Amino acid sequence: MASSKQNIEALIKRDYQAGFVTDVEQESLPPGLNEDVVRALSAKKNEPAFMLAWRLQAYRHWLTMTEPKWAHVRYAPVDYQAISYYSAPKSKKDAPKSLDEVDPKLLETYEKLGIPLKERELLAGVAVDAVFDSVSVATTFKDKLAAMGIIFCSFSEAVHNHPELVQKYLGTVVPYTDNFFATLNSAVFSDGSFVYVPKGVRCPMELSTYFRINASKTGQFERTLIIADEGATVSYLEGCTAPMRDENQLHAAVVELVALKGATIKYSTVQNWYPGDVEGRGGIYNFVTKRGACRGDSAKISWTQVETGSAITWKYPSVLLEGDNSVGEFYSVALANNRQQADTGTKMIHIGKNTRSTIVSKGISAGRGQNAYRGLVKVLKGAENARNYTQCDSLLMGDKCGAHTFPYIEVKNPTAKVEHEATTSRIGDDQLFYLQQRGLSAEDAVSMIVNGFCKEVFKELPMEFAVEAQKLLGVSLEGAVG
Amino acid sequence: MTAPVSDSRPLYLDAINAQRAALPGQTVPAIRTLREEGQARFAELGFPTARLEDWKYTNVSAIAGQLFKPVNGALATVSSEQLHSHLFADLPAHRLVFVNGRHAPALSSVGKLPAGVIVGSLAEILATRPNIVEPHLGKIAPTGTNGFTALNAALFADGACVHLARGAVAEQPIYIVYVSTGDTDSVMTTPRNLVVLEESAQATVIEQYLALDDARYLTNVVTEAALGANSRLEQYRLQQESTKSYHIGTWYVRQARDSRFISHTVDLGGLLARNDLHDILGAEGAECEFNGLYVVDGRSHVDNHTCVDHAKPRGTSREYYKGVLDGMARAVFNGRVVVHPDAQQTDAQQMNNNLLLSRNAEVDTKPQLEIYADDVKCSHGATVGQLDTDALFYLRSRAVDEQTARDLLTYAFANDVLSRMKLAAIRLPLEQRLTTRLLRGRSLNELELI
């Protein structure tokens, strides 16, 4: 197996391929956080009074909180006063009217990442609300969506153009008191995406946002709010890569999903932020709060995530199954290589009758990576005939990594049926041998086995993402077994 | 009953100071140190609160809110007639009986022990042969795991001491009975058991906790077991405390090379029962198997915490815990499996199944895997649910009425754990109890199904 060992070495040590920095002038607030910063931030964005009040409320609450320590991750403490809480590309005042006006450097960045922004718009069939640092710069397909009554814009625009919707739903799924990072986000969130799909409308295309952290020392605090009104259907894609940086960058996003009666929201993520170098220096701290609420009967929320990046991941996309017959799903592939640490999972809170949830989590650990699944399935007293199926499998590559499972199951209703199973194993020598004696290289064999391991999750991804996800895993893992 | 207080810690510390001089082992330096450490750790830790992850689902404020007076001397005398109906009568065994935590020689019948086997009261052995106890006591169970283990270290007055020399085999099981009679005040007993098996020794140890009446008391027991290379220990823990009592049991086991440890835990009583079973597979090729059953109703709360520490390669662990909950009962299962970086070729399996029979019962289960090695086979599973509808249909189609069909399936579900017990003299009476409990007093024969 000498050759495959070399391959692992080569592949594990492969440099982060999306590591480049775009030189764009930035308009930033000086580092530090206090009430004035929150006010200044709100003023810069010309926000209405209710937003400022909400931010300040959150900020004051944040001061009373302490950073959580329970996750199975270790990292250098974050200095919240050393972060600049606002950074916008300079051309903000005279925002671009069309793509031609967009800073060519930005377009170049997207070009490198392969984002279909220009002629590829129609071909790819993807509407992109591209977030470059904190302000949305270009939004496409808006007209087509607007004709159907779908609102898809940056959060700042939504605050200005649809304040009633923002005020009605903001913080109803993730309240500003929720947790340390969500509260911080509530106080200082910069921008994000806003989607509203009206009654009975099926969104004709996948909505997609590419986040990209760029300015050094700028924490990104995205806030995304997606509302699917009665009977509406929407599929949302979130994907990201970040340029190579030497300092830890904090990312504390909040995503709120609201599915009303009979609505369906599918939220897919491919996360490939900079994981730090081989020794674990640099890399993104990804402390994200994602939660969806099935507010009405027969609503459905489905989370699919492929987490290959970030130095530290701390993320639990959850579903509150409030409506009767509502459905929650969570499909996840999480990869921890080198010194990456991932503590991720989900929460399914069964409140309504006949609610169903499915959890499929695949964790891959390699190098010195630590990968933990942490999940909660809670069946409340009134949740008659609730049903949960959980499967979490871990694949270990190398004897220095770790795979951990921390499922919590709390059942208060005798008609509930909850199943959890977890397995941990490594790629078997016999499996490798079988594929190799069929003429596959060690590298291809491992790739095939890993993709097979993740297949249940990948098949949930929209086409475009499925391809990217497989490529990502390939880059990070091929041959990572000795 | 003692009045509730906001912080009972000073009361317990006073009680420790008052008792100290009368406790056994004063002349043994290691025991003195252990007691001092226990007192210091308790002063520091107090009783666990729900803010601690390990006590998230089990609230012991009822214990922490008052003083359970440490039993000082014998409270009551128990006659062998009183005791007889509670014991496993058909079990030929070396029997040690403790009444309210103190050795009761009149009720015990150790009988003739094989060569190399020592069975006796810990207090007595500490006084006569401290060299048997000293190298092990307090060395396997960490004193400061929580306030209860610390309190036990500071206050233990007696317990069972089992020692098997190299190659010794105890053919008959060693049967340890703890009887609580209760008192007008709420009392606490803090037994400490020590089981040492040297290389290639074999023994079966039964711990039974029972009450003669419906008293309110606290049992805070710590058992330590050291298994030498190639030894084999089968342990039965039967908790049948009174419905008003609190039972906190901590078991620490350390296994040497190729040793085998089998544990059967059955919880049928207690208002609040918490079992911590911690097994360190400290050398290559060690094996363990935990079987657990809890059948609770009323307002009972039963919490089983297990932890298997795979510290060395080629260890095997198996866990099967099952629970049936009725009334307003609540059950907690927390099964932790840690595979350390060296422990390659570990094979760990764990399963926890729960059956809820009532609308007000609750189950919180938390299987945990922490794996730091790659060449391992580990799995765990947990279910909470109802009876299999296909199985119910099968029985109904055979003209078994709905209620009987349900009872039968529930019985079969629970009995699966008991069927793993090797000692028929224990298994059969327990099955009997189970039929009373789950088949509404009918026997399988009565149902004319077998």
Q: A62-105, pLDDT tens digit by residue? A: 999 888 887 777 787 888 887 777 765 444 344 445 555 555 55
Q: Give the pLDDT confidence of A273-310 residue by residue, as tens digits.
A: 777 777 767 778 888 999 999 999 999 999 999 888 78
Question: Rounded to whole angstroms, how far apart are CA atoms A13 and A331?
Answer: 28
ipTM exceeding cut-off 0.85 for this assembly: no
Give the H/E segment covering residue B338.
strand B330-339
Question: Is B343 within 8 Å of chain A by CB?
Answer: no
**Which of chain A's residues have a Cβ under 8 Å away from the Cβ of B336?**
none
Dihedrals φ, ψ of B196, to 5°? -125, 125
CA distance B271 to chain A (A): 19
Say if CB A307 and CB A336 are below 8 A apart: no
Looking at the structure, tell me whether residues B265 and B410 fall in a common domain.
Answer: no
Residues of chain A in contact with residue B367, where contact means CB-CB under 8 angstroms, are 405, 407, 420, 422
Place of tokens 């079988």: A434
Measuring CA to CA, how many Å separate A326 from each of A216, A349, B63, B374?
42, 11, 42, 39
User: In Å, how far is A286's CA from the nearest CA of chain B?
Assistant: 22
Which position has the token pair 């199985």? B391
B176 within some domain? yes
Please give the full DSSP string across A424-455, using - where no structure is assigned: EEE--HHHHHHHHTTT--HHHHHHHHHHHHHH
Q: Which of B220, B254, B281 is the last residue of a domain?
A: B281
pLDDT at A137 (0 to 100): 39
How many domains does chain B contain in total?
A: 2
Cα–Cα distance measured from residue B15 to residue B155, given in angstroms and rounded to the nearest whole number:
9
Contact A408 B364 (CB under 8 A): yes
Question: What is the SS3 assignment for A132?
Answer: strand
Distances in Å between the Cα of B379 and the Cα atoms of A435, B271, B319 are 25, 32, 11
Find residue B31's DSSP bridge partners: none
A381 in reach of chain B (CB within 8 A)? yes
Distances, alpha carbon B263 to alpha carbons A79, B24, B207, B306, in Å:
49, 29, 11, 11
Domain boundary among B256, B281, B306: B281
Beta carbons of A402 and B380 less than 8 Å apart? no
Residues 45-84 of B with CB under 8 A from A: 53, 57
What is the mean pLDDT of the segment spanning A457-466?
79
- Contact present, A293 and A259 (Cβ < 8 Å): yes
CB neighbours of residue B341 within 10 Å: 14
Residue A23's identity, in one-letter code, is D
Selected for mutation to probe chain B from A361, A420, A477 (highest B CB count within 10 Å) is: A420
Q: Which residues of B touch A408 (CB under 8 A)?
A: 364, 366
User: Could you tell me if A79 and A18 are in contact, meaning their C-beta atoms sit under 8 angstroms apart?
Assistant: no
**Tens digit of pLDDT per residue, chain B (450 long)?**
445 566 788 899 998 998 888 888 888 889 999 999 999 999 999 999 888 889 999 999 888 888 888 887 666 778 888 888 889 888 899 999 999 989 999 999 999 999 999 999 999 999 999 999 999 999 999 998 899 999 999 999 999 999 999 999 999 999 999 999 877 778 899 999 999 999 999 999 999 999 988 889 999 999 999 999 999 999 999 999 999 999 999 999 999 999 999 999 999 989 999 999 999 999 999 999 999 999 999 999 999 999 999 999 999 999 999 999 999 999 999 999 999 988 999 999 999 999 999 889 999 999 999 999 888 888 998 999 888 889 999 999 998 889 889 999 999 999 999 999 999 999 999 998 888 888 877 777 776 654
| Domain, as residue range, for B448 | 393-450
Q: How far is CA B132 from CA B73, B153, B185, B404, in A?
A: 25, 18, 36, 53
- Which of B371, B374, B386 is nearest residue A397 as measured by Cβ atoms? B374
Residue of B357, B358, B385 lying closest to A418 (CB–CB): B385
Expressed in angstroms, the distance from the first to the final Cα of chain B is 49
Chain-chain contact of B368 with A406 (C-beta, under 8 angstroms): yes
Q: Is any Cβ of chain B less than 8 angstroms from the Cβ of A34? A: no
Query: In A, residues 383-422, which contact B (CB 8 Å cutoff)?
Result: 394, 396-422
Q: How far apart are CA A274 and CA A241, in angstroms?
A: 7
Select from A381, A401, A423 the Cβ nearest to the Cβ of B374: A401
Specify whether B259 is located in the same domain as B118: yes
**Cβ pair A192, A261 in contact under 8 A:** no
Q: For residue B343, is it within any domain?
A: no
Of all residues in chain B, the one with the smallest CA distance to A386 is B385
Q: Is residue B378 part of a domain?
A: no
Same domain, B274 and B408: no
User: Best residue in B352, B384, B389 to probe A by mutation, most A CBs within 10 Å?
Assistant: B384
Is B345 among the domain residues? no
pLDDT at A328: 96
Please list every residue in chain B whose beta carbon sits closer than 8 Å to the beta carbon of residue A396. 371, 373-374, 376
Q: What is the pLDDT of residues A381-427, one digit of tens each?
A: 999 999 999 999 998 888 888 899 999 999 999 899 999 988 888 88
Strands (E), B72-159: 94-99, 102-103, 117-121
* B409 in the same domain as B263: no
Whole-number Cα distances in Å, B33 to B26, B123, B188: 10, 16, 22
* Distance between CA atoms of residues A425 and A429, nearest Å: 12
Q: Centre a 10 Å sphere on the Cβ of residue A369 and count the other Cβ atoms it contains.
A: 26
- B442, amino acid identity: R
Distance from CA of B331 to the nearest CA of A (A): 10
pLDDT score, position B109: 92
With cut-offs at 50, 70 and 90, classify the pLDDT of residue A124: very low
**How would you classify the pairing of strands A87-89 and A193-197?**
unpaired
Q: Which range among A124-133, A346-355, B243-252, B413-422 shows the weakest confidence by mean pLDDT?
A: A124-133
Count of A–B CB contacts within 8 Å? 112
Please give the Cα distance from B449 to B396 (Å, whole number).
13
Instruction: Name the minimum distance, in Å, from the CA of B57 to any CA of chain A.
Output: 10
* Residue B48 falls inside a structural domain: yes
For residue B293, is it within any domain?
A: no
- Cα–Cα distance between A158 and A138 in angstroms, integer? 15
Start-to-end CA distance of chain A, whole Å, equals: 6
Query: Of B281, B309, B338, which residue is a domain's last?
Result: B281
Helix (H, G, I), strand (E, B), or coil: what is residue A35? helix
**Considering only CA atoms, which of B9, B10, B179 is closest in space to residue B80?**
B179
Residue in chain B lying closest to A401 (CA):
B372
Contact of B338 with chain A, judged by CB distance below 8 Å, is answered with no
Cross-chain Cβ contact A409/B382 below 8 Å: yes
Among A70, A407, A423, the residue with its CB nearest the CB of B382 is A407
Q: Where are the beta strands (DSSP E) in B109-245?
A: 117-121, 160-164, 174-180, 187-189, 192-197, 202-211, 217-227, 232-240
- Please name the member of A398, A402, A414 whose beta carbon is closest to the beta carbon of B358: A414
- Among B282, B362, B296, B287, CA closest to B324: B296
Look-up of token digits 């099935």 = A294
| In-domain check, residue B175 | yes
B445: in domain? yes
Cβ contact A364:A335 at 8 Å: yes
Contacts of A410 in chain B (CB under 8 A): 57, 362-364
Select from B80, B370, B181 the least CA-distant residue to A405. B370
Strand ranges (E), A173-283: 193-197, 206-212, 223-228, 233-241, 249-251, 254-259, 264-272
B361 touches chain A (CB under 8 A): yes
